Amino acid sequence: MAGRAGTEAESAPAAGAHGDESPPDDPRNVPRVPIQIEEAAAAIAMALICLITFANVVVRYLTNASFAFTEEISVFLLVVLTLVGAAAAFARDLNIRVLFFAEMLPARPRRALELTSMVLSAVLFTLVAWYGWRFFLDDWKFGTTSPGLGIPQWMYSIWLVVLSIAIVARLVGRLWRVWRRG
pLDDT above 70 (res 17): no
Least confident among 24-33, 38-47, 138-147: 24-33
Q: What are the φ/ψ torsions at residue 152 (nearest 5 degrees)?
A: -60, 130
Residues in the chain: 182
pLDDT band at 109 (very low <50, low <70, confident <90, very high): very high
The pLDDT of residue 128 is: 98
Residue-averaged pLDDT of the chain: 86
Q: What pLDDT, in 10s, does the model give residues 58-105?
A: 998 999 887 877 889 999 999 999 999 999 999 998 888 888 888 999
Q: What pLDDT, in 10s, does the model give residues 116-163?
A: 999 999 999 999 999 999 999 999 999 999 988 899 999 999 999 999
pLDDT band at 25 (very low <50, low <70, confident <90, very high): low
